[in-house]
Structure 1
Amino acid sequence: MTSTRIIIMAKEPRPGQVKTRLIPALGAEAAAELAHRLLRYTLEQAIAADIGPVELCVSPSAADAYWQPWLQRGVARISSQVSGDLGARMAAAISRALNAGTPAMLIGTDCPDLTAHKLQQMAALLQTHDSCLCPVADGGYSLLGLQRFDSSLFENIPWSTSQVAALTRQRLKTLDWSWAESDTLKDIDEPDDLNGLAMSYPQLTDRLLPTPAP
């Protein structure tokens, strides 16, 4: 199978600046800790998939102290996201990989269902399609893989809304590109997502969730 780069779009988990929709349920510190655990888990799965290079494309800056231990371990390349909205940042990251001649998959850190096995499945599908997609239950997607680049996939998309996956499919159809999709996955954005996360991935929520009242 052709090597496929995995690009993880990651944000430094600073309290009050990440997982803000979970803060009412967890508090700012615990929400940031969950973001850190999700990031670490995502990186572990990407490396375990063993399908090609793994890149952490981070914000605000790869030079920040938080990223230095990750950099020193040498487990992945670390790059800084460009300025602009999410679409601009994703477009810059994946076009760089594609320009180097490597198929690539963009993923976030909010979807623990993107296991090593799932990443391997999507990389295999990408071998025979122009694109691949992992839709999530809220209408977005957790993975977008491309064999070639077109900016229309990233422009004028209302990010963080239920329209993202549907609009992306429309753009792929307009381009007359083939694409493959996984089953619908679940990402972690809202307080209602936490109980399911605790049941499926208890290691990610250990000592973070409030103890239920007797």
Structure 2
Amino acid sequence: MNQKNLIITFTRNPELGKVKTRLAKTIGNPSALAIYKKLLEHTESVLRPLNCDKAVYYSVKIRENDVWDNSIYQKHQQHGNDLGQRMANAFKHGFENDYKKIIIVGSDLYDLKPEHINQAFDALDNNDVVLGPAEDGGYYLLGMKELYAKLFQNKNWGTSSVLKETLDNLEQENVFLLETLNDIDIYEDIEKYNDLKALIKP
């Protein structure tokens, strides 16, 4: 395995009423939970074949027997008061453990493929930061070779301004942008995926 590269994903514990709450307003909590579990399975299938170390950061508590195989994934607890702090702490922990390139990716992208992450690792050879823009104005992937703490401060997480504000912080750095992908937050985000819509309970 390539010991110098690390891929991180953040996950919420898949519990009824605790995941995809905006989506649940339209389709109900049981359906939102079923779709979130499907998204976790998809994310795991994308990360599993990658030639790098892998870590999962849990929102509430670490699970042993779940979709993330203990023999493949390092398991950690998220720490911090907001998403920015939690991501910064995850990157900091990785760099303190001598990883040279670290990428974090969301767990709610049905269009995510291994090629996106491999492309991001490759792009870090010649760039300081890699971003994967999301259609909603945020980003689904962030990669770097050193900790840029400013990227995690003074952001309205979950809003359409996050990507622009992040790029504004990086005016002095070389930034590589991946293709824009759709992350799943509201009903309109799943309309083109028939297998996700099939999980909606009547």
Distance 2:86 2:140 in 1: 15
Report if aligned partners of 2:190, 2:197 keep a CA contact under 8 Å in 1.
Answer: no
* Letter of the structure 2 residue corresponding to residue 56 of structure 1: V
Partner of 1:196: 192
Runs of 4+ in structure 1 deviating by more than 4 angstroms, as ranges, are none
1:188 deviates by 0.7
1:118 deviates by 1.3
* Letter of the structure 1 residue corresponding to residue 34 of structure 2: E
Partner of 2:56: 56
Question: Are 2:26 and 1:29 equivalent residues in the alignment?
Answer: no
Identity level (%): 28
Extract unaligned runs of 5+ from structure 1: none
1:186 deviates by 0.8
Distance 2:78 2:7 in 1: 15
Distance 2:124 2:11 in 1: 23
1:10 deviates by 0.7
Question: Are 2:95 and 1:104 equivalent residues in the alignment?
Answer: no
Report if aligned partners of 1:60, 1:80 keep a CA contact under 8 Å in 2.
Answer: yes
Distance 1:80 1:210 in 2: 31
Bigger share in helix: 1
Partner of 2:151: 153
The SS at the match of 1:138 is: coil
Extract unaligned runs of 5+ from structure 2: none
Distance 1:72 1:40 in 2: 12
TM-score, normalised by the number of residues in structure 2? 0.92
Partner of 2:200: 209
Partner of 1:6: 7
Superposed CA RMSD in Å reads: 1.8
Partner of 1:83: 80
Distance 2:142 2:19 in 1: 22
1:197 deviates by 2.6
**Residues 81-137 of structure 1, C-alpha deviation per residue, up to 9 Å, x if partnerless?**
013100000000011112222110011111122211111111111122111000011
Partner of 1:41: 42
Distance 1:72 1:141 in 2: 26
* Letter of the structure 1 residue corresponding to residue 181 of structure 2: L
The SS at the match of 2:130 is: strand
Distance 1:117 1:107 in 2: 13
- Quick one: structure 1 residues 128 and 51, their matched pair in 2 at CA, closer, same or farther if it must change by over 3 Å? farther
Partner of 1:140: 138
* Letter of the structure 2 residue corresponding to residue 52 of structure 1: C
Distance 1:28 1:78 in 2: 26
1:72 deviates by 5.8
- Quick one: structure 1 residues 132 and 74, their matched pair in 2 at CA, closer, same or farther if it must change by over 3 Å? same
The SS at the match of 2:56 is: strand
Report if aligned partners of 1:18, 1:31 keep a CA contact under 8 Å in 2.
Answer: yes
Distance 1:134 1:21 in 2: 22
- Quick one: structure 1 residues 100 and 34, their matched pair in 2 at CA, closer, same or farther if it must change by over 3 Å? same
The SS at the match of 2:135 is: coil
* Letter of the structure 2 residue corresponding to residue 24 of structure 1: K
TM-score, normalised by the number of residues in structure 1? 0.87
Partner of 1:120: 118
